[in-house]
Amino acid sequence: MTEKYGVVQRLRAGEPLRSIRRETGLHRSTIRVIAAVAREHGWLDEQRPIPEVEEVSKVLSDLCHDRLRESHPLDEYREMIGEWLEDKYTYVAIHELVQELFPCSEATVRRYIQRTFPKPAKTIVHRDTIPGAIMEVDFSSIGLTYDRRERRNRKTYVFSGRLRHSRKAHRERVYDQKQETFFECHIHAFEYFGGVPETVVPDNLKAAVVAASFEDPIVNRAYLDLAVHYGFLISPCLPQMPQHKGGVENDIGYIKRRFLAVFRARQRQLGRTVPDGEELATELLKWSTEVADERTVKGIGIVPREVFDSEEQAALKPLPAFRWDPLTVATAKVQEGWRVQFDRAYYSVPYRYIGRQVKILANHRLVRIFCEDNQIASHSRANNLWQIIRDPAHAPPAAVDMLATTREGLLHRAAAIGEPVERVASAMFSRGGVDGLRPCRALLSFQSKYGTQRLLAACVRALAYERPEYRCVKNILVQRLDEQTDFKHPTVRHSDGVQSYRFARRPGYFNDLTTEDTHG
């Protein structure tokens, strides 16, 4: 309004409209309206005293705005334009529609809308911070760096976990946004702070793993498992609402402006067009500790390290006794053999899920398989590559007959009975030129005829005599030799390393006999 009061003064002094427009920057139509209002109220009469600012402001705020409005040709289409704005049409789209009714420029339409349909001023409420209450986390791309381990340039990201109260942050260089990396960054942040906050606020849109975790219930389960282990709550910000975690958003910008710009310049001085990733990680940690945590935050006048040491560190929850066992999330299709492949091993699932896509959650000890949000199988993790782990309860009704037709199925059944039976079955199949399917099926049939314990004992005895054969096991069971309690290993190893059977003559026995003894 002081500008418009200045226009009245210039008009009163006789300054031309073109000069006033050049000096004030106001539109000529606005100056004309002010001139008309000033003439009506006699403000341009040099014989009368110039009015006060308040009087000019009151009159112009009512009349000037109305006269500008009345004189605009787009008022005829005001209601129509208002409907387009309610439907979220852009300025470009509205201008294209208006062009069909009244030829004008896009700038004219834009100014008219801004003046006629003013948006309410945005307001914010500064939230009071509580020590140890909230940590905000975010990923952001920082371009390419050279990975020494893989000897190639890689897209690089920076992770920031920032405590809202003290503004202290854990910053880390990573090469991807996978869920494993996302979880590890949380763990590193907790260990950097020496405690755990009440709530973690992740990004629900920009970080790929976090976006997946709240659209995919299985990945969300992995994040929830991490939260339960460390005892924090997950409170993701709403989509397209980064201001809900504005502190960490500002920290990402602070890293790029203050640290990354200087680091890249120094790398170029060393002749590196692509910065070294290892040096970036080292320098980022050093900069965070020596510079970022020691600066005075503008607007509030605090030093993050001092506030953290004096107020926030004591408010954090203690770390658990042991680290969380990271979860790996994978997708697989159930094969016709009612199993899935994960990390070069096979795990069974109920046969009715054949052909379905499933999610796999695995740590170092356990593999859990989910279909949609329901757990359908759980196994101990395989110890060997390409190991097959089956649960008999997952088998289809004819699984026993089906497995009995393959070497793999018979070995699996033998292993389910016990290791001695599996070793005998493996020995049957290892003989070249002989089909071991029939004798192996006959061996396994002894379980129903003689019982599991007797079959195990018979196989132990057959292995001890180094005769892992069907006929030997059968004779042991028929003659009930497996029930003998005085069973000893049939071979004896002498001091000279020679091995012989227990009923064989000892070495040198015949050399000790005299001729008389021989003929007597």
Mean pLDDT of the chain: 82
Kind plus residue range of the DSSP H or E element containing 138: strand 134-147
Strand stretches in 213-324, DSSP E? 233-234
Q: DSSP states of 332-349 as a string?
A: EE--TTSEEE-SS-EEE-
The residues of the chain that CATH labels 3.30.420.10 are: 134-315
Query: Largest alpha-carbon pair distance within the chain?
Result: 167
d(CA 17, CA 25): 11
d(CA 7, CA 4): 5
pLDDT (0 to 100) of residue 69: 52
Q: How many residues does the chain have?
A: 520
d(CA 374, CA 359): 10
- Which parts of the chain have pLDDT scores under 70? 1-2, 61-71, 121-127, 204-220, 237-246, 398-405, 432-434, 486-520
pLDDT (0 to 100) of residue 448: 87
d(CA 449, CA 298): 85
pTM of model > 0.85: no
d(CA 84, CA 101): 14
Domain topology for 134-315:
Nucleotidyltransferase; domain 5 (3.30.420)
d(CA 41, CA 39): 5
Q: Which two tokens stand for residue 6?
A: 């200045």
Query: How far, in whole angstroms, is CA 70 from its chain's centroid?
Result: 57
Find, among 213, 206, 278, the residue nearest to 239 by Cα.
Answer: 206
